[in-house]
Structure 1
Amino acid sequence: MGEGMSGWQRVKLVGNVLNLSTALGVLVGVIGRAKFSRGPRGLFYATGYRLGFPIASAFTLGNLVLTKNDRAYFDRRPLLVKHEERHSWQYFCLLGLPMLPLYALGAGWSWLRTGCPASRNPFERLASLKDGNYIEHPVQPLGQTLSQTFSGLRSRRKEQ
């Protein structure tokens, strides 16, 4: 188990198995009909993920990184892999599943402040916005965020 893994990466791998966050990732990957493979530094990949949620090019649950793309997607994006590995450390530090509601709170806070769920989300900032391929949006007044959101919803309804 774990060529090229440090001792701490092994501890994180075992911890994220025990805290059930990786198990949740496997369950989500199976439901999303993903193909599983070993990644670097104790990570695993679930590629070809077919569900539309969450809307992200990749997302991490425990030590499992899921994507709709193929494995080569990660091979071409080493900074994204580092970003997702940082999220796996966040699961470890927060003892697994408590990460999910805390992440949701961070995304909500960020959306209220910027209109973007990542820009002020502390979990995304700690994982490096740039490495995750996020654009940092400036803080804006709440009224502007609400106006942008509701005008976007109205225009989508008109298109349907």
Structure 2
Amino acid sequence: MSGWQWVKVVGNFLNLSTVAGLFVGVLGRATFSRGPRGLFFANGYKLGFPVAGAFTIGNVILSKNPRAYFEDAALVRHEERHSWQYFCLIGLPMLPLYVVGVVISFLLTGDPASRNPFERLANLKEGGYVERPIQPIGKTVTQAFSVLRSRPKGP
């Protein structure tokens, strides 16, 4: 690891974001392993939220997928950029700010990632996202209601 990566590892531990990531991984009954550049992988995450192939809290990358999922170097680079975002935002304030980014992106494009500044700074393509164009808000609302209507109704 480089000197700056050590700074990020220590910083994200002290700002409690990595501690929170480890806690979420334990709650989700994930299996932990060491990753590159001070990252930890938490595979086999069993909780249904968030709905994502992988997500990062501090220096912990959580995924419902097996460890082989992280053989995709571009995905690991993308998630590592999120770990730097936790460092720069002094830890857990990243979470509500990320949610604001999701809402803004969804309102602008109908997609939670396309205009989310955190995903854009982490490289949309490396995260497996497709950039969607900005669209009228009426179209976004119509899309959201059609998705809600198409969901199966509960018992």
Kindly state the Cα deviation for residue 154 of structure 1 after the two structures are TM-superposed.
1.0
SS at 1:144's partner residue?
A: helix
The alignment of Structure 1 onto Structure 2 pairs a total of residues equal to 155
SS at 1:45's partner residue?
A: strand
Partner of 1:55: 51
Partner of 1:96: 91
Partner of 1:32: 28
Please, which of 122, 125, 132 is the counterpart of residue 130 of structure 1?
125
Please, which of 13, 16, 19 is the counterpart of residue 17 of structure 1?
13
Distance of 2:153 and 2:26 partners within structure 1: 36
Distance of 1:87 and 1:147 partners within structure 2: 31
| Gapped regions of structure 1 (runs ≥ 5) | none
Kindly state the Cα deviation for residue 151 of structure 1 after the two structures are TM-superposed.
1.2
Partner of 1:73: 69
Partner of 2:108: 113
Partner of 2:42: 46
Runs of 4 or more consecutive aligned structure 1 residues displaced over 3 Å after TM superposition? 157-160
Partner of 1:7: 3
Supply the RMSD in Å over aligned alpha carbons. Answer: 1.2
Kindly state the Cα deviation for residue 69 of structure 1 after the two structures are TM-superposed.
0.9
Residue deviations 1:39-73 (CA, integer Å, cap 9, x gap): 00010000010011101000000000000111111
Pairs within 5 Å for 1:149-160: 149-157=144-152
Task: Provide the TM-score with structure 2 as the length reference.
Answer: 0.97
Paired-residue identity, %: 69
Kindly state the Cα deviation for residue 156 of structure 1 after the two structures are TM-superposed.
1.2
Residue deviations 1:99-129 (CA, integer Å, cap 9, x gap): 0000000010000000000000000000000
Residue deviations 1:78-97 (CA, integer Å, cap 9, x gap): 00000000000000000000
Residue deviations 1:4-62 (CA, integer Å, cap 9, x gap): x0000000000000000011101100000000110000100000100111010000000
| Gapped regions of structure 2 (runs ≥ 5) | none
Distance of 1:152 and 1:119 partners within structure 2: 18
